Amino acid sequence: MRRVLLSVCIVLMSCAFATAETIRLKASDGVEVTADFTTPEGRFSTVLVLYHMAGASRGEYRDIAKALNKLGYATLAVDQRSGGPFNSVKNETAAKVKGRQGFTDAIPDMLVAAQWARQNSGARRVGVIGSSYSAGLVLVLSSKDRNFADAVMSFSPGEYYGTNYVSQTLSGIKVPVFLTAARNETEQWRPFANNIGAPVTGFVPKGVGRHGASALVSRNRDEYWAALRKFLDTHLPAK
């Protein structure tokens, strides 16, 4: 009986801590975009929109979103059409689109998610986290539209889309930016940091690290989290 009561308490506590909802948005070209919106217990002022890496789904952020919720942030983990199943989570957006989808084809999905976060999440501030191919795209999109995000966190950005696709836009960024990657990818993002016309925090891990936002669940996750939390506390507080 005691074990049953303990199990019930654990379930109730987890339910009380965060509220999750799967939402479906309509991109500008009509594609239905799936995302998981999770709010922390109590009041929040900031929502973080989470974009996955190549071949992945919103499942890349399964554990990362929970950690962010514990810090007091609402999260919106997005399935972009350029991706696939990840962490046993199906990419529902990609499953609805026919034919091969390139990285930049995901831009309408990213835009509608950020717009929803701005207008419908109940938050006053919006931050975005990009992973690998989406890490470069969040830089491009924030340079083109000041309302896209109030701060940008870019994990393993690169020129994955053609020559100078990212580099030529960086001077237009006017919001704080956090840049990081695996240690051996550092020289991939350093040139970006030098050309961004806004406050930049660049983080190089002491450990090997990992490609993309999955660095936050890697062996070296503690140092990544310490750097990310410092950036968030400074530029994008949860409350």
Q: Is 236's pLDDT higher than 80?
A: yes
Helix, coil or strand: residue 132: coil
The per-residue pLDDT for 19 is 87
Euclidean distance between CA atoms 217 and 209, whole angstroms: 10
Is residue 9 in some structural domain?
A: no
Give the mean pLDDT of 34-53.
97
Give the mean pLDDT of 65-81.
98
Is residue 147 in some structural domain?
A: yes
Is residue 116 in some structural domain?
A: yes
Euclidean distance between CA atoms 133 and 148, whole angstroms: 17
Q: Is 115's pLDDT higher than 60?
A: yes
> Residue 181 is encoded by which pair of tokens?
């990657």
Is residue 13 in some structural domain?
A: no
Is residue 41 in some structural domain?
A: yes
Query: How does DSSP assign 34-54, residue by residue?
Result: EEEEEEESS---EEEEEE--T
Domain count, the chain: 1
Provide the pLDDT confidence category of residue 17 given band limits of 50, 70 and 90.
low
Q: What is the dihedral of CA 105, 133, 19, 117, to 10 degrees?
A: -60
- Whether 214 and 131 have beta carbons less than 8 Å apart is answered as yes
Give the mean pLDDT of 82-104.
96
Q: What is the pTM of this model?
A: 0.92
Q: Is 55's pLDDT higher than 80?
A: yes
What lies within 8 Å, CB to CB, of 69 at 6+ separation is 17, 18, 38, 39, 40, 75
Residue whose C-alpha is closest to residue 113's, from 8, 23, 41: 23
Is residue 11 in some structural domain?
A: no
Is residue 78 in some structural domain?
A: yes
Is residue 192 in some structural domain?
A: yes
Q: Is 81's pLDDT higher than 80?
A: yes
Domain of 47: which CATH number? 3.40.50.1820
Provide the pLDDT confidence category of residue 3 given band limits of 50, 70 and 90.
very low
Which structural domain range is residue 175 located in? 21-235
Q: Is 95's pLDDT higher than 70?
A: yes
